[in-house]
């Protein structure tokens, strides 16, 4: 399913770039929660968004594409919060898979399952040039 962009006329954008390190994931999830809290989401929905963003960042950290930063783009309008989490690969970054234990592979799958359960629309794409990108949408109840 294609994730529609927010309506241009009312869209507002917040961008954040964090190092691709575990200790920065909390900053990303709290920042996006702050964006969501400016909309009419319930506390439970804000918690859903927070967890989904953290899972996307964790996925980015555990992926094997050699990115050194994670970009988080929030686009809001009257009806949606659209969050894009993308790996940003530095020039010359090596594409080396970090060693994952058997449990960690399964956990990675659990994270994606959570994202799909908590958000309304989710798209995932891997671009060999720019890295991986996950787009997810939470809709405001009408």
Partner 1 sequence: MDIKVNVRETDTETNIVELAGEIDVYTSPKVKDALGELIDRGVYNLVIDLEKVRYIDSTGLGVLIGGLKRVREHGGTVNLVCTNPQIKKIFDITGLVKIFGIYDSEDAAMKASV
Max alpha carbon distance in the chain (Å)?
47
User: Is 87 a binder of partner 1 (CB under 8 A)?
Assistant: no
CA angle 16, 127, 124 (to 5 degrees): 70
Looking at the Cβ atoms of 62 and 130, the one nearer to partner 1 is 62
Looking at the Cβ atoms of 45 and 75, the one nearer to partner 1 is 45
> Is the CA virtual torsion 28, 51, 55, 25 positive or negative?
positive
Choosing from 44, 94, 129, 141, the residue that interacts with partner 1 (CB under 8 A) is 44
CA angle 124, 89, 71 (to 5 degrees): 60
User: Is 19 a binder of partner 1 (CB under 8 A)?
Assistant: no
| # residues near partner 1 by CB under 8 A | 25
User: Is 58 a binder of partner 1 (CB under 8 A)?
Assistant: yes
How many CA atoms lie within 13 Å of 48's alpha carbon, on the beta-carbon side?
19
Interface with partner 1 (CB under 8 A): 22-23, 25-26, 44, 47, 50-51, 54-55, 57-58, 61-62, 103-104, 106-108, 110-111, 113-114, 117-118
């Amino acid at each position: 399913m294609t994730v529609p962009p927010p309506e241009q006329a009312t869209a507002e954008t917040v961008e954040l770039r964090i190092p691709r390190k575990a200790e920065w994931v909390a900053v990303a999830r709290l920042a996006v929660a702050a964006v969501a809290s400016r909309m009419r989401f319930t506390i439970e929905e804000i918690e859903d968004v927070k967890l989904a963003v953290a899972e996307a960042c964790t996925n980015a950290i555990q992926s094997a594409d050699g990115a050194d930063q994670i970009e988080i783009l929030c686009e809001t309008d009257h009806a949606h919060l659209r969050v894009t989490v993308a790996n940003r690969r530095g020039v010359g970054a090596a594409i080396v898979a970090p060693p994952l234990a058997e449990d960690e592979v399964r956990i990675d799958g659990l994270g994606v399952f959570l994202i799909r359960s908590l958000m309304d629309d989710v798209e995932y794409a891997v671009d060999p040039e720019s890295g991986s990108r996950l787009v997810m949408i939470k809709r405001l109840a009408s």
